[in-house]
Structure 1
Amino acid sequence: MNTDIKTPTFTKYFTLAFLLLFIFGGAQKKFTIVLDAGHGGSDHGSNRSYPDIGYIAEKDITLSVTLKVGRMLEKDKDFKVIYTRKTDVYPSLTERTDLANRSKADLFVSIHVNANTKTSPYGTETYLLGVAQNNTNLNVAKAENEVIYLDAQDRQRFASYDPTSPESLIALKLQQARYREASTILAGFIEDQFANKDKRLSRGVKQENFHVLRMNAMPSVLVEMGFISNYDEAHYLASEIGQNEISESIYNGIMSYKKAYDRRGGSVAATPAPEKPAEQPLKNDFRILLMSSPSKYNSGDPALKGLNYVLPIKEGNLYKYYYANTNLASVRDNNLKTAKDAGFKNAVPIGFVPNQKLGSGYYTIEVAATKDKLSSNSYAVQTLKDKLIREKVNGVFYYTYGNAKSLEEAIDLQKDLDKKGIQNTVIQKVVK
């Protein structure tokens, strides 16, 4: 008899407890974010080899940063983090987007590394789905989209897709419109973190037709953390310090988005992020003066602390070493930070008036400075012949070539010598 009485009572309270748990616990949906470490497995992505750090690949950097971001997010009970990969494997683009859609994710963040084969740019970019704005963006998209040919399912889904057809553009704009505002806001938060917290050059929020974004039914962005093709930035991307700073910036950007999402009751698409006005060029070009020294250092010398794009200019008995060149204030400031971070604590920006001709004096190219005369059979003497001027000062033979009125003309002369195989020359400013 006692058992018959207790059973319905127990069932009643158990049912009530289950309903309360469902209403107040189960109904609390966690904010789900899919973190996508770009490339993986046999797809190395962008990669480079450098003498001092060896081989570095995009797939390794993206995985490391993605896991760091994920670990920070997982400390917050409001987040559910889903990874497209946690090891060195290659999930197809189809698998990545299908995973995000099945999970009914609130955000999709794909993490990548940039590269350029012709020039050596640097800085961060964050992309959302959209129509190509310029050829540079298009080249980035082509590089990231090439992975569709690694997987049969991707080839079937994406390879016949023509992004320039009217049908594709209509479909793209419909998909873009649905999540564009939220994606723009997330991208803006991430780029602001890169620029303001890490003091890096933000190349801005951009749009492009990335396959990995196009099939997602949620706000989605693709983060390009920097250029592995840039020597200085490659070192930063490969370093523990760099990866920690990058992951914190992406994490902070996501958290800023989540706060805006919560404030607006589950939507951040109320007001689009204001577009930043295009930065206006300065009147002068700016180079960073690293140091002045009586010693001449060739490219790659340890005294230059691993910095590339260093231009030595000799004035009197001193060699002045200038790093990089720009007419944008943000890039100038970033170059100065790079120089100071490398160890040149007294580095300062110096302004140069573009194409300014010297009122008196000229620029020439110092080809060699030796205690002994160059042999008549030396390559420089044989190549330049009577155009090479020799002068002996304090027991040293100085060999110079050419005459230019502006620094730009002198740089062109120096480049011509490089093409002829005469390297490690120095521009010399002769004042009369």
Structure 2
Amino acid sequence: MITHSFSFKKYFLFVFFLLFSISGAQKKFTIVLDAGHGGSDHGANRYYSELGTLREKDITLSVVLKIGRMLEKDKDFKVIYTRKIDEYPSLTDRTTLANRSKADLFISVHVNANVKTSPYGTETFVQGPDQNKTNLEVAKAENDVIYLDEKDRQMFASYDPKSPESLIALKIQQSKYLESSLLFGSFVEGNFANKDKRFSRGVKQQNLHVLRLNAMPSVLIETGFISNYEDAMYLGSDRGQNEIAESIYDAILSYKKAIGRNDTIAKSEVEKPVEEPLKNDFRILLMSSPSKYNDNDPALKGLNYILTIKENGLYKYYYGTTNFASVRDNNIKTAKEAGFRNATSISFVPNQKLGIGYYTIEIAVTEQKLNANSYMLNTLKDVVRTKENGKFYYTYGRFSSLEEAVKAQKTLEDKGIKNTVIQKNLK
């Protein structure tokens, strides 16, 4: 009997400690760290005489391993890496790993680049439907790699990020994670700006495949522009990589304190309601000018996602679009920090048709008439030519809403007719 009693106690203690350890394991805050690119996919790269060839895949891996080493010192965290060596996990593998791990947070680290100008600074992307199709350029840069892997081709073959159906599905799927993703992104960009004294381009929404299927708060962090000399020297240095890793690590600690286990914001830490989308879209008016600036012109100060609308002879330059107040406010902050001190948000009613007048697309402004054999005139029908102040203006189409004009503008870009401007005619 004594033996049996002793065995029972041992068994009871064993079960107790087993349950305790399982419970403790479940309470670990699980983070998936994703070093962008890898293997044959080098990502962005540039050669500098001081550092040699900088490759995105090397920088992201170094930063991720530094973050991981800091997190692994804390028993409250469980760290999962999508890669720890120079290899290429497919985007499907990265997403599947995160979902199967039931991770609390997914962080994908990347490096930015621009071939035409030298923008600089950091930016963090969260998953969200694009309301403005001109915002797809960053997505294209990251999404192109899906064609490197057979599983990715199968997974994403039927996904069209530009179709209304896909955007609606994305909005429903990701809405419950958006608030937490925006919160973490704000911690990251706040640390970059305040601790590291770097230029933060803000937190933005974007349709990125590596975030799209994640069933958890997820962000993609662009740590700087490898195409900008100062950013590149920072990204390639031990000091720069350590500061980036520490800022992301500190953001994780702040985020963990601010949320509960169910990805809801803890009232004791942060009194912030779940953000509801606004009825209207908001674009940031940067400036109005009689001059036309093409994409990547220095006058735009390195900002992307510019929609230009010509009205009453002036070109109005709008930055970004969103129907979330927090993203709108971040976009204003980014615009002002870039140098547009008078930037202001303008409300647009989605799919609103003009009661008077119409939109058209200005496809060319020339000193001399276009040759009858020009590509534009031979490609497009019903091009209208007018002459004002010694210049010839060529316009195409009549559209009742801004969205229709933006869609037509995208079609023109696909045909190779670029740097067009939407024109609003109130006649």
* TM-score in terms of structure 2 length: 0.62
> Runs of 5+ in structure 1 lacking a partner?
283-326, 333-432
> What secondary structure, in the 3-state scheme, does the structure 2 residue paired with 1:85 have?
coil
Contact preservation (8 Å) 1:123, 1:225: yes
d(CA) in 2 for partners of 1:169, 1:281: 27
Contact preservation (8 Å) 2:133, 2:162: no
1:207 deviation in Å?
Answer: 0.7
Aligned counterpart in structure 2 of residue 131 of structure 1, from 129, 132, 157: 129
Partner of 1:27: 23
Aligned counterpart in structure 2 of residue 268 of structure 1, from 265, 268, 290: 265
For 1:190-269, what aligned pairs fall within 5 Å after superposition?
190-262=188-260, 267-268=264-265
1:167-199 deviation per Cα after TM superposition (whole angstroms, max 9, x unaligned): 211210111212111111011111111111111
> What secondary structure, in the 3-state scheme, does the structure 2 residue paired with 1:27 have?
helix
RMSD of the TM alignment (CA)? 2.8
Change (3 A) 1:261 1:127: same
d(CA) in 2 for partners of 1:329, 1:126: 17
Contact preservation (8 Å) 2:130, 2:167: no
Contact preservation (8 Å) 1:45, 1:59: yes
Contact preservation (8 Å) 1:113, 1:226: yes
Deviates more, 1:21-30 or 1:231-240: 21-30
Partner of 1:77: 75
Partner of 1:63: 61
Contact preservation (8 Å) 1:280, 1:328: no
> What secondary structure, in the 3-state scheme, does the structure 1 residue paired with 2:54 have?
strand
- The aligned amino acid for 2:264 is S
d(CA) in 1 for partners of 2:50, 2:250: 32
> What secondary structure, in the 3-state scheme, does the structure 2 residue paired with 1:41 have?
coil
Partner of 2:140: 142
Contact preservation (8 Å) 2:126, 2:219: yes
Counting aligned pairs with the same residue, the percent is 63
Aligned counterpart in structure 2 of residue 178 of structure 1, from 176, 186, 189: 176
1:266 deviation in Å?
Answer: 5.5
d(CA) in 1 for partners of 2:80, 2:170: 26
d(CA) in 2 for partners of 1:39, 1:48: 15
Q: Please tell me whether residue 12 in structure 1 is matched to residue 8 in structure 2.
A: yes
- The aligned amino acid for 2:11 is T
- The aligned amino acid for 1:24 is F
d(CA) in 1 for partners of 2:110, 2:35: 7
- The aligned amino acid for 2:7 is T
Contact preservation (8 Å) 1:148, 1:159: no
d(CA) in 1 for partners of 2:276, 2:249: 21
Change (3 A) 1:64 1:41: same
- The aligned amino acid for 1:89 is E
Q: Which has the larger radius of gyration?
A: 1
Contact preservation (8 Å) 1:35, 1:66: yes
Partner of 1:157: 155
Change (3 A) 1:279 1:171: closer
- The aligned amino acid for 1:79 is F
1:201 deviation in Å?
Answer: 0.6
- The aligned amino acid for 1:246 is I
Deviates more, 1:86-95 or 1:8-17: 8-17
Contact preservation (8 Å) 2:180, 2:263: no
> Runs of 5+ in structure 2 lacking a partner?
267-271, 288-333, 340-427
For 1:313-324, what aligned pairs fall within 5 Å after superposition?
none
The number of residue pairs the alignment matches comes to 284
1:13 deviation in Å?
Answer: 1.1
1:16 deviation in Å?
Answer: 1.5
For 1:324-335, what aligned pairs fall within 5 Å after superposition?
330-331=337-338
d(CA) in 1 for partners of 2:262, 2:167: 32
1:51 deviation in Å?
Answer: 2.2
